[in-house]
Chain A
């Protein structure tokens, strides 16, 4: 078929027109694409650039180094040591099962451990390290390192963990850390992001908890570039955080160690305070426990005995415990009376062995009575009736007010957990808390530290220090923070007549050093080291029965407060032996031993003890020499 020239030309022309049209449409579309490109790349560039940066940059926290804790002489009480764990990266391991088997035989993994590790490996991204074993020994780390060629993808990683080298000595002072729990996070209003880091440790009790802010430090950050699957490609920027502050406590670790050892076998508490600055030199509660056990989570095998022990090792008896102060409170009753001018220090009261008050008979501990007694005699022989009489004259309000001035019934602000404020009862207090009117018998009971009266050993030690110095000694536990001395509070004079205080000290001196004093057997005979004090026996039950005939839980608490040297007080102490029987027999000897230890800054010479005691003390000293605290510190810390 032959076509005409005209027809061909016409169809060609039409083709040309349509081609031009279609080409035009195409170019128009390309123009649209260009406009779109301009919109995205020029108009919106800033926004998209930002989005791209957000995409690729990930901010990671660097956990800060926790502040270390030292005693007043620089001995380490809490330190950080490297802790090792073994991790595996799936994509580097190749045959996971194979490698795991070799690893398990090398570092003794249980079948459960390997199983859960393999499960974890298969679940997480192939490039993420998965922890196979935690807190492994240095031996395991070196075994893994040496065998590295046979263990592709396996590597030891180093972290940091808290260790308490002084073990049980400082459980009730330094406390302990532990993994951050949900409870910890809930308790905080705005939890620091660093707390969310896996394995991060937070202070749980005592100084570790109360000074958490200082000790924790602030987290550093590093900006890392990540790809779409979250794999870290490189580090872009690193801003170091701030390590936690180094804390120096006022405690003398050597003295603390001695006291803790001296209290072995007792359920007891001892506080020794420096009379110059109020520094707490020893804060011992026995029995104690090893805080290292708690760090990685304690096993019930270790925990159950601590919970069920009737001596309550988990309780810090020096500040958490509130006990009837017994006769150690008598100084407060007396001070209230003589400061009020109701009775002169030398005026006498007749003790027939009891006092009738409101139709009730209140006995003196000595049923036959002490006869005519003045302040010194009554304190020395611990006559009760003298204080009944004084209390009835001066009234409970003044007694409570006086004891508050001496630091009883007041919560001392210490970096310890659950600090008890004790109780100095008043009429209002009873009405509000018991809904009952104050009766005169309550005053009589309170006058000898019984009834509602409660005090912690810490408060009794503060009271004694204030009596000894006439100053408002305030206890201090943290000596320096990062080398900066913390303020000493309480240099103000107690606004009391110096003569009255002197008379009180003299009476306390008589308690220990007078042949008829209740603590005479626990006197110190070294010159310039003489101790003054007061025994106390606080009743747990009401009936008077011989202590040896009742079970331990019902025996009286034994107490002693004292200071030394008498003429130039350096240290004050309070000793409490729970259900220990009499203060003179159970508490005073401990007080003498620990005070001598403090005064001589170490083991005292036998000459400081009365001749009759030296044989026994010699044996005791040998026994207590260098008693190591109970501390199960993991082996790897030695290698650090």
Chain B
């Protein structure tokens, strides 16, 4: 209820709010998405179809969505946080029963006009709900065991459901984002030390379970980890993706091979070149300079979000912005690590660049929340 403590009157009203949007952030997002259009145009062999054009339309829709969400007062969103979280959990349970199977995992519900990926939505609703929780919780109670256990439960329920799909990548992102939010909210260091220790224990347990009846991961997930650890062991099999991706990146050199000149992606040596591995195409065609440029754009988005959050005196708003920024960071950090051979192939797209409607709309919605927090910040 803290917003009541601020002078609401200083918050802009009506369509004047548009002027108070975080415009630099909008420009940065557009720049990143533009890079995506360029790459999708390139991997299609120089054509707007099948990827670039739908992606542009979706981004345009996403921009509208972001502004629309941004114009709605942030306290409305805070009040909806619990409901949103609940719906997400329901949908996650729903995909278990009605979900379509793709790539060996149950991930989406086909609503006819859109393929809904509840796990995507959950990334945002979890952050929203945790931010609302810590906004409601008095600061001094933050580190008390009971009040730590509760958010843990909030995180673990959707994580477990996502893991069940099974979608290891998203599950790890959810855990990381949830944990990050708890850290931001001021939970005591000791808890994190415990969790990290437990995490290491879990990893050991997972590897120990291999080949036993209570195996915790599917075989293909184990294989992915294997090939990550030693991609050269199977260069034409499961290690193929990583090897080819590194070749594409490396052959780009300083300045790249030129727009639409990347042989690795154009000749299909790269897997999933329009989705998870799109960064390799960028790095191959525009080289180190192109790759660094995109990384800088991402970094600026993070910086603008953090600045916006720190300047915001509303606890929910700050936590929400930081949580969304963390989510965004995790997205591209995991994806880039993956294509550079620093992380196993876990199927995480490059945010705003990779082709994909569901992920983009959810992200734009999230940035809508960031805008809403920015516009309605106490002044």
B336 within 8 A of A: yes
B45 CB to closest chain A CB (Å) equals: 11
| Residue from B184, B251, B253, B299 within 8 A of A19 (CB atoms) | B184
Q: Which residues of B contact A225 (CB under 8 A)?
A: 263, 267
Cβ A228 vs Cβ B253 within 8 A: no
Q: Which residues of B contact A36 (CB under 8 A)?
A: 340, 342
B127 within 8 A of A: no
Q: Which residues of B contact A229 (CB under 8 A)?
A: 268
Contact code string A27-50 (vs B, CB < 8 Å = 1, else 0): 101100110111011101101110
A228 and B139 in contact, given A33-B295, A37-B291, A41-B254 (Cβ under 8 angstroms): no
Cβ B253 vs Cβ A30 within 8 A: no
A197 within 8 A of B: no
The CA-CA distance from A19 to B315 in the complex, in Å, is 12
Contact code string B104-142 (vs A, CB < 8 Å = 1, else 0): 000000000000000000000000000000000011100
The CA-CA distance from A33 to B298 in the complex, in Å, is 12
Q: Which residues of B contact A47 (CB under 8 A)?
A: 250
The CA-CA distance from A49 to B254 in the complex, in Å, is 12
Cβ A33 vs Cβ B336 within 8 A: yes
A439 within 8 A of B: no
Q: Which residues of A contact B247 (CB under 8 A)?
A: 48, 51-52, 55
Interface-side segment among A6-14, A102-110, A149-157: A6-14
A15 and B319 in contact, given A23-B306, A29-B333, A225-B263 (Cβ under 8 angstroms): yes
Which residues of B from 248 to 281 have beta carbons under 8 Å from A?
A: 248-254, 263-264, 267-269
B376 within 8 A of A: no
| Residue from A1, A18, A20, A41 within 8 A of B183 (CB atoms) | A18
Cβ A19 vs Cβ B250 within 8 A: no
Cβ A42 vs Cβ B186 within 8 A: no
Residue of A nearest to B186 (CB): A14
A3 and B2 in contact, given A52-B251, A52-B264 (Cβ under 8 angstroms): yes
The CA-CA distance from A3 to B264 in the complex, in Å, is 60
Cβ B267 vs Cβ A20 within 8 A: no
Q: Which residues of B contact A627 (CB under 8 A)?
A: none
A226 within 8 A of B: yes
The CA-CA distance from A22 to B328 in the complex, in Å, is 13
A44 CB to closest chain B CB (Å) equals: 5
Contact code string B212-252 (vs A, CB < 8 Å = 1, else 0): 00000000000000000000000000000000101111111
B239 CB to closest chain A CB (Å) equals: 14
Q: Which residues of B contact A193 (CB under 8 A)?
A: none
A550 within 8 A of B: no
Q: Which residues of B contact A30 (CB under 8 A)?
A: 295, 298-299, 302, 333
Q: Which residues of B contact A10 (CB under 8 A)?
A: 139
B283 within 8 A of A: yes
Main DSSP-derived SS at the B contact region: helix
B291 CB to closest chain A CB (Å) equals: 5
Cβ A37 vs Cβ B249 within 8 A: yes
Residue of A nearest to B140 (CB): A7
Which residues of B from 285 to 332 have beta carbons under 8 Å from A?
A: 287-288, 291-292, 295, 298-299, 302-303, 306, 309-310, 313, 315, 318-319, 322, 326, 329
| Residue from B249, B268, B315 within 8 A of A227 (CB atoms) | B268
Cβ B292 vs Cβ A34 within 8 A: yes
Count of chain A to chain B residue pairs whose CB atoms are closer than 8 Å in the complex: 146
The CA-CA distance from A45 to B254 in the complex, in Å, is 8
A19 and B322 in contact, given A10-B139, A14-B186, A52-B263 (Cβ under 8 angstroms): yes
A492 within 8 A of B: no
Q: Which residues of B contact A228 (CB under 8 A)?
A: 244, 267-269
B185 within 8 A of A: yes
| Residue from B180, B315, B342 within 8 A of A22 (CB atoms) | B180
A619 within 8 A of B: no
Q: Which residues of A contact B138 (CB under 8 A)?
A: 1, 3, 7
Q: Which residues of A contact B13 (CB under 8 A)?
A: none
A116 within 8 A of B: no
A56 and B333 in contact, given A19-B309, A22-B183, A30-B298 (Cβ under 8 angstroms): no
Q: Which residues of A contact B79 (CB under 8 A)?
A: none
Cβ A11 vs Cβ B263 within 8 A: no
A3 CB to closest chain B CB (Å) equals: 7
Residue of B nearest to A10 (CB): B139
| Residue from B267, B283, B315, B322 within 8 A of A11 (CB atoms) | B315
The CA-CA distance from A167 to B307 in the complex, in Å, is 93
Contact code string A513-526 (vs B, CB < 8 Å = 1, else 0): 00000000000000
B49 within 8 A of A: no
Interface-central residue, A2, A15, A49, A53, by most chain B CB under 10 Å: A15
A37 and B2 in contact, given A15-B318, A22-B322 (Cβ under 8 angstroms): no
Cβ B326 vs Cβ A22 within 8 A: yes
A58 CB to closest chain B CB (Å) equals: 11
B337 within 8 A of A: yes
| Total number of A residues with any Cβ neighbor in B under 8 Å | 44
Q: Which residues of A contact B329 (CB under 8 A)?
A: 26, 29
Cβ B2 vs Cβ A45 within 8 A: no
A81 CB to closest chain B CB (Å) equals: 37
Q: Which residues of A contact B180 (CB under 8 A)?
A: 22
Q: Which residues of B contact A34 (CB under 8 A)?
A: 292, 295
Interface-central residue, B180, B251, B310, B333, by most chain A CB under 10 Å: B251
Interface-central residue, A2, A33, A41, by most chain B CB under 10 Å: A41
A42 and B303 in contact, given A8-B2, A11-B186, A37-B292 (Cβ under 8 angstroms): no
Cβ A41 vs Cβ B288 within 8 A: yes
Cβ A55 vs Cβ B186 within 8 A: no
B103 CB to closest chain A CB (Å) equals: 19
B101 CB to closest chain A CB (Å) equals: 25
The CA-CA distance from A88 to B252 in the complex, in Å, is 38
A40 and B184 in contact, given A15-B319, A19-B309 (Cβ under 8 angstroms): no
The CA-CA distance from A27 to B301 in the complex, in Å, is 11
Contact code string B61-90 (vs A, CB < 8 Å = 1, else 0): 000000000000000000000000000000
Q: Which residues of A contact B185 (CB under 8 A)?
A: 15
Q: Which residues of A contact B313 (CB under 8 A)?
A: 8, 12
A16 within 8 A of B: yes
Contact code string B183-222 (vs A, CB < 8 Å = 1, else 0): 1111000000000000000000000000000000000000
The CA-CA distance from A465 to B251 in the complex, in Å, is 72
A42 and B269 in contact, given A19-B184, A37-B283 (Cβ under 8 angstroms): no
Q: Which residues of B contact A226 (CB under 8 A)?
A: 267
A233 within 8 A of B: yes
Q: Which residues of B contact A42 (CB under 8 A)?
A: 253-254, 288
A41 and B253 in contact, given A7-B140, A56-B263 (Cβ under 8 angstroms): yes
Cβ B253 vs Cβ A49 within 8 A: yes
Residue of A nearest to B1 (CB): A1
Residue of A nearest to B4 (CB): A2
The CA-CA distance from A20 to B303 in the complex, in Å, is 10
A18 CB to closest chain B CB (Å) equals: 5
The CA-CA distance from A343 to B336 in the complex, in Å, is 105
Cβ B251 vs Cβ A49 within 8 A: yes
Residue of B nearest to A57 (CB): B263
A56 and B267 in contact, given A33-B340, A36-B342, A40-B340 (Cβ under 8 angstroms): yes
Cβ B2 vs Cβ A41 within 8 A: no
Contact code string A241-255 (vs B, CB < 8 Å = 1, else 0): 000000000000000
Cβ A38 vs Cβ B249 within 8 A: no
Q: Which residues of A contact B319 (CB under 8 A)?
A: 15
The CA-CA distance from A11 to B316 in the complex, in Å, is 12
Q: Which residues of A contact B340 (CB under 8 A)?
A: 33, 36-37, 40
Closest 5 CB pairs of A and B: A48-B250, A11-B139, A52-B251, A227-B267, A45-B253
Q: Which residues of B contact A (CB under 8 A)?
A: 1-2, 5, 138-140, 180, 183-186, 244, 246-254, 263-264, 267-269, 283, 287-288, 291-292, 295, 298-299, 302-303, 306, 309-310, 313, 315, 318-319, 322, 326, 329, 333, 336-337, 340, 342
Q: List 12 A-B contacts (CB under 8 A).
A: A11-B315, A15-B185, A18-B183, A19-B184, A22-B180, A22-B184, A34-B292, A41-B249, A42-B253, A48-B247, A48-B251, A227-B267
